[in-house]
Structure 1
């Protein structure tokens, strides 16, 4: 399904200012990886809000993006593409008429890569994982920063517990998420007007968990094979909407005192961002 790129919300360039005047609590948020799992849950949560938020959604599944556009034709702009294509990534925020303001940036996209042990892994696979998980984030942040500074906005990363756990065969993925957490700290210092938070979403029932069970177990240690192969059957996987709600709330409401932190979605510090 190929669609022309849309450069503005609504039917005219004037829509965004009229919408913001009419809905004074409305935020404009860009969400990556929005066609499945946590990213889709973030988008659904924000679109259901009475605040009438405006969303720019990126992802690889054009059918899901088309569904979002069909349901919210004035409030959603979609950008289908591959986050390893840095030219595409740089173009996302620059190609859309946002009238000088972006309130939130949710960096949720990512890949586990080939999940080989370091001694078996092609260095090109390592580089590809970092390009998707880290470098693309930097590229998108660079293009979005002028808009985020203007709104004193927020950046929220979907990180992982793998950033602090050395799972065998997860070296590239874990190291890339550790880099994201360090990037969060750096942005706190370099961009004090923008609140940046990194969130550990827990073990969530997403396609990534399916890939772990079906593709990657053979390269992992036995104890980890048992843990991840039985998590779904034992009911230990979180529904995506649990961490998704927290990430969505942080994208529009994160307190500046959280900036630079790497926190679990259920950390007591985030109690006010959870409904229950």
Structure 2
């Protein structure tokens, strides 16, 4: 059982990039917290599992399967007896195609991961988050409010997450739900944008992302990752429902000046 002075947190998309930065921060700087880490591959999380056997539990699975969400919550509760936060950090950019070139099935696959996977884990978690007056933190994107050629399914799915946070702030007053825009971060997704998906994007957008990498303009995963981690532990209720940039003034107390 987890004691009252520690948090039990479920983190999806935990194996790389922002998710890895969140997990590492919570385990190395806030030493009492317990993490249920969800990713498609167990092997990607084995190091953390072996390094922190009493504080890390791992569940491998594709969150497009809504059954994984219930398993994650059940595992956290059975292991530590409570749940204080969920961090929804998983997503897929694909398909990267113009709307005219996509199929409805491709949109469905995107939403199965980005939208329905998020909704399923929040639904499973809500009874426990009500008990702890816990938090749901959603990793969103600037694409939720700005159009990029070829990113229709991704941007639309992130817009849904923003509205989900807004809806939950009204429906679940005991749970603090925040959607965070992490900025342009040096992650595997950014590499895929530059190297794999560029043919489906506009020349202007490709030039933007190539230039950011070349000129050192990409954020480190730790910058938004540490903010998201801290929000999961102690975000105040007055932020519930908001869509905020990771470096927004409203989040100043959560920002790490060392990054």
Q: CA deviation at 1:90?
A: 2.5
Alignment partner of 1:232: what SS?
A: helix
Question: Pairwise mapping of residues 37-76 of structure 1 onto structure 2 (< 5 A)?
Answer: 37-76=17-56
Q: Indicate the SS of the match to 1:178.
A: helix
Aligned pair 1:94/2:74, yes or no?
A: yes
Residues in 2 aligned to 1:199 and 1:50: alpha-carbon distance in whole angstroms: 21
CA contact under 8 A between 1:100 and 1:147: conserved in structure 2? no
Q: Does 1:263 align with 2:231?
A: no
Distance 1:144 1:71, change over 3 A: same
Matched with 1:188 is 169
Bigger radius of gyration: 1
Q: 2:240 aligned with 1:240, yes or no?
A: no
Indicate whether 1:79 and 2:62 are aligned: no
Deviation at 1:57, TM superposition (A): 0.4
What displacement does 1:99 show?
Answer: 5.5
Task: Give the superposition deviation at 1:122.
Answer: 1.5
Q: How far off is 1:100 after superposition?
A: 4.8
Alignment gaps of 5+ in structure 1: 1-15
Taking structure 2 as the reference length, what is the TM-score of the superposition? 0.96
Aligned-partner SS, 2:101: coil
Give the 4+ runs in structure 1 shifted more than 6 A. Answer: none
Q: How many residues align?
A: 256
Match of 1:5 in 2: none
For 2:130 and 2:12, locate their aligned partners in 1 and report how far apart those are by CA, in whole Å: 19
Using the TM superposition, name which of 234-243 and 224-233 deviates more: 224-233
Query: Which sections of structure 2, spanning at least 5 residues, go unmatched?
Result: none
